[in-house]
Amino acid sequence: MKLEIFDPALCCPTGVCGPDVDPALTRIASDLHILKNKGINIHRYNLAQEPDPFVQKQEIAKLMGEKGTDILPVTMLDGKVVKSGEYPSRTELSEWLGISKETLQKGSKPSKVDISIN
């Protein structure tokens, strides 16, 4: 199972840049991090940094040609468009990927990082 998200042009995928934090971006970034740690095959493309996949995927190119970049974000599951115009909800992700919604709500354990300052 492969989940792909085609983001609009973003400075970063977390939503914490700039003067206002976008809660939808922080939520989807967290959800995708959890899903990757669960072994789900996830690819996320940022139009500003990786334009090639937007052209190479015929369905994405067609949608953008017809409706412009307002159609983004677009989510594809196993090569089929399953949602456009907004990020998938936790309910949708859990249904599509066959995982419990609680898995996403609980989040993952924060990882420990050792930092030394010289």
More confident residue, 104 or 8: 8
Residue 8 has pLDDT above 70, yes or no: yes
Quote the domain boundaries for residue 65: 2-11+20-101
Determine the residue type at 57.
Answer: K
**Residue 73 resides in a domain:** yes
**Which pLDDT band holds residue 109 (cuts at 50, 70, 90)?**
low
What's the rounded Cα separation, in Å, for the pair 1 and 79? Answer: 10
Q: Angle, to 10 degrees, between the axis of helix 23-37 and the axis of helix 90-97? A: 20
Q: What is the mean pLDDT of the chain?
A: 87
Predicted local distance difference test score (pLDDT) of residue 83: 97
In a domain, 108, yes or no: no
Residue 79 lies inside a defined structural domain of this protein:
yes
In a domain, 110, yes or no: no
* Nearest of 18, 47, 3 to residue 55 by alpha carbon: 47
pLDDT single digits (tens) 10-41: 877 666 666 677 788 888 998 999 999 999 99
The answer to whether residue 70 sits within a structural domain is yes
- Indicate whether 48 belongs to any domain: yes
| H/E stretch holding 84 | strand 80-84
What's the rounded mean pLDDT across residues 1-16? 83
Residue partners of 13: CB distance under 8 A and separation at least 6: 7, 25, 29, 44, 46
Residue 74's CATH number: 3.40.30.10
The reply to whether 72 falls in a domain is yes
Checking if the pLDDT of 45 tops 90, the result is: yes
Query: Is 113 domain-assigned?
Result: no
Predicted confidence band of residue 117 (pLDDT cuts 50, 70, 90)? confident
Q: How many domains does the chain have?
A: 1
